[in-house]
Every structure is written in structure tokens, then in C-alpha cells.
Amino acid sequence: MRTEDGGELAPAAPPALRVDGGTPMGSEWMEMRKRPVCAAQEPAACAPGQPGVENQGSNACCFCWCCCCSCSCLTVRNQEEQRLRRTSYEVRTEDLPTCEESPGPTLEEASAWAQSFDKLMLTPAGRNAFREFLRTEFSEENMLFWMACEELKKEANKAMIEEKARVIYEDYISILSPKEVSLDSRVRETINRSMAEPSRNIFDDAQLQIYTLMHRDSYPRFTNSALYKDLLRSLSEKAVEA
């Protein structure tokens, strides 16, 4: 294109189209020339929906997942575990024998239970109180196993020894039992070999192991428990009233 004096004009820049089909004018044209092109200047992630590129928008709940959703999941899971534990305990205790018959302990007798585990286990009242505490810790089967072994030792009839030994094994030794007590593999193997011809003392090693377990783990907690302290307080008040 030529001017009136015969010179040539520089070709005009091609107009850029608006999105709406119009042509930007003046400052709008200059502004658009300065604006960087997304495809050339920004990473590919700026164009969501492209194949092979993760949509980060869908991950907007990352913080919620870490701090909210996970907490909610843990709460639900803990509640479910507690429910299953209570259900399991109810199954284990529904057929447990009742406590031993015994008169109520005196203040002097109950105070002696804190002096040694042996004194606690010597009396029916002491065993009943300790058994009640073990029930709160879901470990009452330890006391029941120990008591069953004591009863087996008193048996003289061979047929009754075999029958009682079988019952004790199924109730407290078998891994299939919900009332299984915690024993090491050596003791279990010895019992398994002896079950072919059981004696009154077949469970002696196991009984000693459970006795030691109760002494070491449960007894210190019993002497510091609210159950035991409330019993002492009640007996003290009765002694004062008398």
C-alpha cells in the first residue's frame, strides 16, 4: 500500500479477535500484546482436563482428609473396637462360675491383702475381691483357671481327673477358646504331650505362670484401685459405727 507521495506503508499488524468476535482497539490491543500466552508461559498443569495431567482441583480436600476425615475414621474405628471388645467379653463371661461363697472380710483381713499377693489369694473373700477387679480388666479367666487347677489337685478318681483336665484344657488352654490364658510355647507343648494321660498336676507349670502374671501385672493395680480403696473405706466406717 502506497502513500500519496509514492512511498510505501508498513503492513498493519493483524487485528486480534475478541472472544465475542469483536476486534480490540487502542489500549486493549497493546494490553493483549503484553499478556503472556498460557500455553507458552505456564506449565501444562494450568490447563485442567488434559490427558496425563492430574487435576489438582479434585484434591482440594487434602487438608480435610488429613485432619478431619482421618480423625472421624479413627473415632468410628475405635468405637467399633470397643463394641467388639464388649461383645467378646460378654461371650466369654456368660458361662463363668459364680464367686466363691465366703463371709465378708474384716478390716484387718482386707488391709492384709495389700501386704502380699499370697495373703490376698489365701482367702475366698480376697480371691472374690481380686476377681471382681480382674473382671474390670477383662482378665477374669486368669483367676478362674488358677481356681480350676486347685480343684483338679483335690481330685482322686482317675476318670474324674481325666474329665476335669479335658474341660480345663478346652476352656483355658485351647487356642480356640475365648477364655484362653496366656502361656508360653514350652508350657503348652508340655501340656499337649501330657493330655494323652493327664494327672492331677498336669497344669502345675501353667498355673504357676498365671499366678506370677497376676502377681506382677494385676495385683499392683488392684491395691491402687478405687475398688479396693472403697472397700477399705466401707469397712473402716462399719468398724467405727460398731
CB within 8 Å of 50: residues ≥ 6 apart: 44
Separation of alpha carbons 162 and 196, rounded Å = 9
Separation of alpha carbons 154 and 200, rounded Å = 8
Decide if 146 contacts 210 (C-beta within 8 A).
Answer: yes
| pLDDT score, position 80 | 60
Decide if 48 contacts 55 (C-beta within 8 A).
Answer: yes
Residue 110, exposed/middle/buried by CB under 10 A (0-12, 13-18, 19+)? buried
Q: How many CA within 13 A on the CB side of residue 99?
A: 18
pLDDT at 108 over 70: yes
Cell of 156: 482322686
- The answer to whether the predicted template modeling score (pTM) of the entire model surpasses 0.75 is no
- CATH number of this structure's domain 107-241: 1.10.167.10
Separation of alpha carbons 20 and 216, rounded Å = 84
Q: Is residue 209 left, alpha or beta, with left meaning phi > 0 and alpha meaning psi from -120 to 50?
A: alpha
Local structure of 107: helix, strand or coil: helix
Q: Is residue 51 left, alpha or beta, with left meaning phi > 0 and alpha meaning psi from -120 to 50?
A: beta
More confident residue, 111 or 35: 111
Report pLDDT digits (tens) over 42-91.
444 444 444 444 444 444 444 444 444 444 455 555 556 555 444 444 43
Local structure of 2: helix, strand or coil: strand
Query: How many other C-beta atoms lie within 10 A of the C-beta of residue 87?
Result: 10
Local structure of 8: helix, strand or coil: strand
Would you state the torsion angle of the CA atoms of residues 43, 47, 51, 55, taken in this order, to the nearest 10 degrees? 90
DSSP 8-state class, residue 67:
I
Report pLDDT digits (tens) over 164-216.
999 999 999 999 999 999 999 999 999 999 999 999 999 999 999 999 999 99
For the chain, give every domain's residue range.
Answer: 107-241
CB within 8 Å of 4: residues ≥ 6 apart: none
- Largest CA-CA distance found in the chain, in angstroms, rounded: 139
Report pLDDT digits (tens) over 138-148.
999 999 999 99
Separation of alpha carbons 242 and 236, rounded Å = 10
Separation of alpha carbons 203 and 151, rounded Å = 11
Determine the residue type at 73: C
